[in-house]
Amino acid sequence: MLLAVVEHGSFAAAADHLLKSQSTVSYAMARLQEQLQVKVFEQKGRKAELTEAGQMVVRRARSLLADAQALEQAAQVLAAGWEPEIRIVVDAVFPQALLTAVLKRFAPESRDTRVELIENSLSGTQDAIIQGQADLALGGVLPTGFLSEPLCQIQFVAVAHPQHPLIQLGRHLEEADLKQHRQFVVRDSGSHRRLNEGWLGSEQRWTVSHFYQSAELLLAGLGYAFIPDHIAQPYLQTGDLVVLPVASGSTRDIPVRMVFSDRHNAGPALQRFAEIVREEGRGYLVS
């Protein structure tokens, strides 16, 4: 009830949200202040505002509620054996071949556990863990405040169509050359879209949803891009794309890591999935 009053701004709004009478909420808040022997709220017009002591109480209340929810989830996992579902957020840079190998091994052991795969890019992977939308994240941009494990290295390479003007220059390219041409970058799927990984500042930036979409535009000769080497290789081998002769920085290595949203309360299905990821990812270098 305390958190409902804070989130909805008044006893009446909290009562509506909780499907309780306003008098029930008012009485509960009065009892809370009496038991704590501190004034939690100050009434200002129709709004109940927190005192300084109330702000401290709310911070502690949120922590207690989160602990209680985690305990309830852990109990459900234990009661059910393996979890009915695990949610995995996968960054767009993560190699599909590696993910498929993990899923192929996990499938016969899964005991009917459902697997929800969520594809994100850049800060979207962070958001999924921070906001509790996923149980495990595999990617290159992961949230601070969570312990993560290194998995492998992904190499990005600057590529374009053989007939692209940058290739036709016939010399080593500088950053100034690249800025004069259209660059494709993958959209940040985070709620604030705050990252522009790999963008060199070109005014002619086109934003796409996925690296494979970028590859299609590259094949049409519409620009250049930094894309994962494991995506670029088939096109490089056929000559449909070529590596840009950048004087320095034509490749970039991105470390890929794994992070749990709550390692302490991870169930047996999630732990087994993570174990397979470690084993398959060990020594896996995409370059």
pLDDT tens-place string over residues 56-84:
998 888 888 887 877 776 666 566 678 88
- Among 34, 52, 80, which residue terminates a domain? 80
How high is the pLDDT of residue 89? 92
Intervals of the chain under pLDDT 50: 193, 195-200, 286-287
How high is the pLDDT of residue 225? 93
* One domain, residues 237 and 203: yes
* One domain, residues 215 and 162: yes
* One domain, residues 271 and 195: no
The CATH number of the domain holding residue 185 is: 3.40.190.290
pTM score, whole prediction: 0.65
* One domain, residues 162 and 241: yes
* One domain, residues 219 and 194: yes
* One domain, residues 140 and 165: no
* One domain, residues 158 and 248: yes
* One domain, residues 163 and 206: yes
- Among 80, 97, 120, which residue terminates a domain? 80
* One domain, residues 234 and 171: yes
Angle between helix 211-219 and 229-238 (nearest 10) = 20
**For residue range 16-26, what is the model confidence (pLDDT) as tens digits?**
999 999 999 98
- CB 226: neighbour CB atoms within 10 A? 26
* One domain, residues 207 and 247: yes
d(CA 270, CA 86): 6
Q: How many domains does the chain have?
A: 3
Task: Domain of residue 235: give its range.
Answer: 153-254
Bridge partners for 246 per DSSP: 173
How high is the pLDDT of residue 194? 52
How high is the pLDDT of residue 202? 56
- Among 48, 80, 112, which residue terminates a domain? 80
